[in-house]
A and B are shown apart, each in its own frame.
Chain A
Amino acid sequence: MAEKVLMKGNEAIAISAIRNGVDGYFGYPITPQSEVMETLMKEKPWETTGMVVLQAESEVSSINMVYGGASCGKKVMTSSSSPGISLMCEGISYMAGAELPCVVVDVMRGGPGLGTIQPSQGDYNQIVKGGGHGDYHNIVIAPASAQDMYDFVDWGFELAFKYRNPVVVLADGVIGQMMEKVEIHPPKPRMTDEEIRTKAPWATVGKPASRERNIITSLSLDSDTQEAFNRKLHAKYSEIQEKEVKFTEYMTEDAEYLFTAFGCSSRICEAAVDMLRAEGIKAGLLRPVTLFPFPYKEISRLASQVKSIMSIELNFGQMVEDVRLGAENKCPVGFYGRQGGNIYTPEEVAEEFRKFNNIK
């Protein structure tokens, strides 16, 4: 039986990294995610699995250390919170351009600027639509519990290596700071050099006589070469959209009204759905688990079924734009958000729902 441990979402990221054979973590402290590196430093994985843990001098250094490790086919990651992620975006763009796998955890806090250290979901547009420059996508997965934080590290690396693409775990201050029960699975060893050669034949691990040089770069000065590369990336993103969409539904089968929410907001909406159902109002919830690729098709399907959709987010209207694209004008789409670390209660969400839907 899996061991059950009480831990913070941030601690779950660290423990999961060690137990899932991650080779290196490079980071710089920032609230509300500092427990990731604190836990790694406390656990000293360099003495057990050989995992490298290093506090860089800045977020810019951390992400470029990740670039270096990833170039060698290693499972490497970093974590930060909103202002730190902004600093990393150049590096993430370069990794998307060099087609390098990595996992970046963003435990979102309020912004813009230094903002607040309280929870927020204000980085949706930044992370889901790009972040850095150039025509690229991160694969974005959004945890809603400490268990998700634990599980998404391994899932993130699976996606990152499958598609040679950066994966961002888009969490928030609530999920990072909250403790919950986490089931810990048996540890996986780190990849051997032989496994890296098989799993990442593109990695720069020393050239044998049998093949050409492997080159890791995002630079391409020839127009046609660059365009061909953009087409290749685009085809990859289309395949990801085709194959990797993940979402959960709560009480949608007979729903007449739909909430859409991700991360911690989805849990608050679940409680709001229960409240409204107790009053005889048939509400349901769709929680996108992958934000890129986004579950447009499922929202389109549900938009034909329900009277309205309401997107609930800790920002002033970001994911709602994708919800509108999915709903294809088949039903009205409303929005409610809070900011600054103020978090809606289920009662408040239910109240805003009644206002939007003119239900007394």
Chain B
Amino acid sequence: MKEEIIIAGFGGQGVLSMGKILAYSAIMQDMEVTWMPSYGPEMRGGTANVCVIISDRKIGSPIVTKYDTAIVLNQQSLDKFENAVKPGGLLIYDPSGITREPVRKDIQICRIDAISHAAELGNAKVYNMVVLGAFLKMHPVVEQKNVRKGLEKSIPARYSDLIDLNEKAIAEGMKHVVSVNQI
């Protein structure tokens, strides 16, 4: 099993930490991971992305150009990564971040209205966990109990009271993710 995922959006949407929590959850499941961020000038201009690879074998190249899953949270990221999804792969997007719908017919496309679900939970910061829930519903690459452990490892001890809220946000994402096409 090997899953290559690109997560992309604006700085501040929690793209990097979503990738980190996913990667940590996979470590808790005794899998191999790489987490490779963009750290260049484009990041300083506002967009951020991270490539997470999860595998049950040692990972050779941490650099890939085709992904099993693209999670895109703004228009620039959709433009950049829609065509980088492998045929039969998965694209997840947040409709509030984009101005045009994805057009690929050979991949599974899902939407998650994460902003409003995060707002319902009373904390906009768990936005990224709603999105992570949507992904884990579609591709359950890590078990829920290991996601909990991943959260415990990733969230600094002083915020440990937020672990339950993050877990709840993941559950909301799982509940509300919508598949918009059939392949």
Does B bind A? yes
Cβ B34 vs Cβ A345 within 8 A: no
A111 to chain B, nearest CB (A): 15
- Indicate with 1 or 0, residue by residue over A141-179, a CB within 8 angstroms of chain B CB atoms: 000000000000000000000000000000001100111
* Cβ contacts under 8 Å, A181 to chain B: 27, 32-33
Cβ B60 vs Cβ A180 within 8 A: no
Cβ B60 vs Cβ A274 within 8 A: yes
Cβ B39 vs Cβ A179 within 8 A: no
Which residue of chain B lies nearest to A181 when distances are taken between CB atoms in the complex? B27
- Give the contact-size bracket for chain B: 20 to 34
Q: How many residues of A contact B (CB 8 A)?
A: 27
| Chain B stretch 34-86: residues in CB contact (< 8 A) with chain A | 34-37, 39-41, 59-65
Asked if B125 lies at the interface with its beta carbon under 8 angstroms from chain A, I say no
Summarize A's interface: helix, strand, loop or mixed: mixed
Q: Give the complex CA separation of A216 and B12 in angstroms.
A: 51
Interface segment, one of A14-22, A64-72, A264-272, A318-326: A264-272
Cβ B61 vs Cβ A268 within 8 A: yes
| Chain A stretch 170-218: residues in CB contact (< 8 A) with chain B | 173-174, 177-181
Cβ B36 vs Cβ A177 within 8 A: yes
Cβ A6 vs Cβ B39 within 8 A: no
* Cβ contacts under 8 Å, B39 to chain A: 31-32, 117, 173, 177
From A271, A274, A341, A347, B40 is in contact (CB under 8 Å) with: A341
From B33, B37, B61, A345 is in contact (CB under 8 Å) with: B61
From B35, B63, B64, B154, A180 is in contact (CB under 8 Å) with: B35
Q: Which of A118, A267, A274 has the most CB of B within 10 A?
A: A267
Given A6-B23, A6-B27, A6-B33: A178 in contact with B40 (beta carbons within 8 A): no
Q: Which of B36, B39, B60 has the most CB of A within 10 A?
A: B60
Asked if B24 lies at the interface with its beta carbon under 8 angstroms from chain A, I say yes
* Cβ contacts under 8 Å, A274 to chain B: 60
Asked if B137 lies at the interface with its beta carbon under 8 angstroms from chain A, I say no
Asked if B153 lies at the interface with its beta carbon under 8 angstroms from chain A, I say yes
From A118, A173, A179, A271, B23 is in contact (CB under 8 Å) with: A179
Q: Give the complex CA separation of A271 and B35 in angstroms.
A: 17
From B35, B40, B63, B65, A117 is in contact (CB under 8 Å) with: B40
Q: Give the complex CA separation of A179 and B39 in angstroms.
A: 13
Cβ B61 vs Cβ A271 within 8 A: yes
16 further A-B contacts with Cβ under 8 Å, apart from A116-B40, A178-B35, A341-B40, are A5-B153, A6-B20, A6-B33, A6-B154, A32-B39, A178-B34, A179-B23, A179-B34, A180-B35, A181-B33, A268-B60, A268-B63, A270-B60, A271-B60, A345-B65, A346-B61
| Shortest 7 CB-CB contacts between residues of A and residues of B | A271-B60, A179-B35, A271-B61, A270-B60, A268-B61, A178-B36, A6-B24
Using a CB–CB cutoff of 8 Å, the interface residues on chain B facing chain A are 20, 23-24, 27, 32-37, 39-41, 59-65, 153-154
